[in-house]
Structure 1
Amino acid sequence: MHECVRSDAALTRAFRILGKRWSAVVLGSLRSGPAGFRELSRAIDGLSDSVLSDRLSELTKEGLIARTVDEGPPVAVSYELTESGKALMPALHQISEWAEEHLLSEGC
């Protein structure tokens, strides 16, 4: 008889956030520095503005990105990785390398 193995609580918490579609891609898109909403929207093919808005709000709430408002004129909003978000980049890089090696390419 097989015994059930309890899931890793930390991994469960991490994938509650990272397991949502586009979350890791949004984080990875911010690795090179701050970006505005339009810049992120153009950089991530297939991501709707409403889902991008949701993910930015969620990732901000979780403390992985910071939202900065420049009162302008014109008013400008930018997003950047927090220290917690930056600490996640090596893991996302490893996942990206794994995907390059082990997953079939979707083609360009």
Structure 2
Amino acid sequence: MTERGEEACRQVDTGMTRVFALLGKRWTGLVVAVLLDGPVYFAELRRAVPGISERMLSDRLTELSAAGLVVREVDGGPPLRVSYRLTEAGRALDPALKELSRWAETYLADGGQCPARFRG
């Protein structure tokens, strides 16, 4: 195989590129993980994801909505409240996120670093 052909074989496929372009952004996976338990009001969602600003949460929800993973619903109130829920496509991420969580418990248990017993 030519050197150029070997390089082509090592490229990440477009599906994986699209997944990480969306879910690889800071906070996005955490927002989806919270929504897996059901609809959540904006303020509750912000409290459930420590450290996220209102602006960043709004941006992430807008991106997830544009991708077809989240639906925004307005409760006319009073008071007026906005909740968010996952679409069928968003809920379909559940098995993958649970598997990533199990992986992290096994391999990133030592403060975010792979324990020495699993290296190499």
TM-score when normalising by structure 2 = 0.83
Pick aligned residue for 2:64 from 43, 54, 59: 59
Pick aligned residue for 1:44 from 40, 46, 49: 49
1:29 aligns with 2:34: yes
Aligned length: 106
* 1:59-102 CA distance string (max 9 Å, x none): 01111111001112211100001000000111011011111111
Amino acid in structure 1 at the alignment position of 2:69: L
Runs of 4 or more, structure 1, over 3 Å off, are none
Q: What percentage of residue pairs aligned between the two structures are identical?
A: 50
Question: Is the radius of gyration larger for structure 1 or structure 2?
Answer: 2
Question: Counterpart of 1:105?
Answer: 111
Q: How far did residue 6 of structure 1 move?
A: 2.4
Q: How far did residue 47 of structure 1 move?
A: 1.1
1:93 aligned counterpart, secondary structure: helix
Amino acid in structure 2 at the alignment position of 1:90: P
Amino acid in structure 2 at the alignment position of 1:58: E
Question: Counterpart of 2:25?
Answer: 20
Structure 2 unaligned blocks of 5 or more = 113-120
Amino acid in structure 2 at the alignment position of 1:97: R
Q: For residues 105 and 75 of structure 1, what CA distance do their matches in structure 2 show?
A: 41
* 1:13-43 CA distance string (max 9 Å, x none): 1111001011010000011110011001111
Amino acid in structure 1 at the alignment position of 2:57: L
Amino acid in structure 1 at the alignment position of 2:78: P
Pick aligned residue for 1:74 from 73, 76, 79: 79
